[in-house]
Amino acid sequence: MHMDGETPPLQETMPPTRIILDTDPGADDALAILLVLASPEIKLEAITTVHGNVGTDKTTRNALALLEFLNADIPVAKGCSLPLNKTPHSWGGHVHGASGLGQAKLPEPKTKPVDPHAIDYLIQRFLAKPKELTLFAVGPLTNLALAIRKEPKFAEAVRELVIMGGAIRSGGNVSPLAEFNIHEDPHAAHIVFNSGIPITLIPLDVTYKCLLTPEDIERLLKIDSPIPRFVRDVMADYMAFYSKYEGFAGCALHDPLTVAALIAPELLHLEEHYVDVDISGGVSNGKTYADFMKVLKKPANMRVALDVRGREFVELFVERMERLCNLAQGSVASTRHSARPAAEDGGGSIG
């Protein structure tokens, strides 16, 4: 705990990694955004939104509202509303609440998305400074696939791509075999996986080892700040879903775990493999598979996380939330963060 008002020492000597986050907030997406903003190793430069947990109108509204809540002045570009070649699911509200943010009640945002569509925004940002920006994707991969198809130079301009998605040795969470983000747009995932972008994949195999518990939330609630109360409320429906359907109190930190690839890679066991997704339309549609035995004779196309020191990651997550509260000094309405260059403000942290 760091309740004394002092910000814990962190690796602030390295310049932060500049990222753009493609997301469908979404309860655990919201926690990923909090974790990014709490982490001085990262500077969040923009958010692009996509369909997924709820529709794109809602995911965009949620991203804007959350950034306003955190006084984080970061551009948001609205992206695709539909998968490339499937009907979108219609039951995300069961998992993430009707709004997508559980029981959290954030005011309607005053800010608007930037003008370009997320596909064009991604192309503009990455081609302006090739190989400088890292991309995080924690929703269906539709925006990324269409950026790759629209601009042939896009893939080579991405420094690195970290994806939450897939189930390699694990079973699925939306079908017996498939994970939600990949299942929701398997054709997009196929395009992205085979694009040549250097990819790190964070599948269910590891995210289900990172379980946020009610005790973790109680620990955070000891801090008098709107942030822990937001965490409690945004996860309320999500935790109820886990309790009802998965039989445990708590929930997996799927999207936040992508951030470990930058802030705590030592917690992840990563292996290089050729990974692809089944798009044949049968029972395994949307299933990700790794060619462990190299029978396809294809070079590895990504690093895939197959194990994690899960409890250590959850502890790190809770510590970073405590740090975020300290940065905000108990009042998230006091200052407004601007996405200034890292040299000026030390990265994407608020306050």
Which residues are designated catalytic? Answer: 254
Among 19, 21, 27, 29, binds Ca ion (CB under 5 A): 29
167 within 8 A of 203, measured Cβ to Cβ: yes
Give the nearest distance from C-beta 325 to Ca ion in angstroms: 24
Residue with tokens 């907030």, as numbered in its chain: 25
Q: Report in angstroms how near the CB of residue 97 gets to ligand BDR at its nearest.
A: 12
Q: At what angle do helices 254-263 and 310-328 cross, to 10 degrees?
A: 90
Shorter beta-carbon distance to ligand BDR: residue 163 or 327: 163
Instruction: Identify the sign of the CA torsion 350, 26, 183, 154.
Output: negative
The interface with Ca ion within residues 232-261 (CB under 5 A) comprises: 255
Stretch of residues binding Ca ion (CB under 5 A), selected from 117-125, 131-139, 204-212, 327-335: 131-139
- Pair 21, 48: CB distance under 8 Å: yes
Instruction: Give every CB contact of residue 88 below 8 A, 6+ residues apart in sequence.
Output: 51, 55, 82, 184
Rule CB under 5 A: say whether 138 interacts with Ca ion.
Answer: yes
180 binds, among Ca ion, ligand BDR, none (CB under 5 to 8 A by kind): ligand BDR
Q: Tokens 């990923």: give the residue.
A: 32
Among Ca ion, ligand BDR, none, residue 31 binds (CB under 5-8 Å by kind): none
- What is the contact surface with ligand BDR in residues (CB under 6 A)? 26, 28-29, 53, 95, 138-139, 164, 173, 179-181, 254-255
206 is a contact residue toward Ca ion (CB under 5 A): no
184 binding Ca ion? (CB under 5 A):
no
C-beta of residue 35 within 8 angstroms of C-beta of residue 21 = no
Is 62 within 8 Å of 25 (Cβ atoms)?
A: yes
CB of 138 to ligand BDR, least distance (A): 5
Q: Which is nearer to ligand BDR, 95 or 123 (CB)?
A: 95
Q: Name the residue nearer to ligand BDR (CB basis): 234 or 316.
A: 234
- The distance of closest approach from Cβ of residue 11 to Ca ion in the complex, given in angstroms and rounded to an integer, is 27
Phi, psi dihedrals of residue 197, rounded to the nearest 5°? -65, 135
Q: Which residues are 23's β-sheet partners?
A: 49
CB of 255 to Ca ion, least distance (A): 5
Judged by beta carbon distances under 5 to 8 A according to partner kind, the member of Ca ion, ligand BDR, none in contact with residue 179 is: ligand BDR
Strands (E), the chain: 17-23, 42-49, 72-73, 76-77, 134-137, 160-164, 199-202, 211-212, 251-252, 268-273, 275-277, 288-290, 302-308, 337-338
Residue closer to Ca ion by CB (options 54, 327) is 54
Answer with the entry of ligand BDR, Ca ion, none that 35 interacts with (C-beta below 5 to 8 A by kind): none
Q: Name beta bridge partners: 307.
A: 269
Q: Toward Ca ion, which CB reaches closer, 95 or 157?
A: 95
- What lies within 8 Å, CB to CB, of 110 at 6+ separation is 68
- For residues 175 and 313, give the distance between their C-alpha atoms in angstroms, rounded to a whole number: 27
Among 16, 17, 21, 26, binds Ca ion (CB under 5 A): 26
Q: 261, 246, 259: which is closest to 324 by C-alpha? A: 259
337 binds, among ligand BDR, Ca ion, none (CB under 5 to 8 A by kind): none
Spell out, one character per residue from 139 to 178, where the chain touches Ca ion: x when CB under 5 A holds, - when not. x---------------------------------------
Taking the complex as a whole, the smallest distance from the CB of residue 207 to ligand BDR amounts, in Å, to 7
Which residues lie near Ca ion (CB under 5 A)?
Answer: 24, 26, 29, 138-139, 255
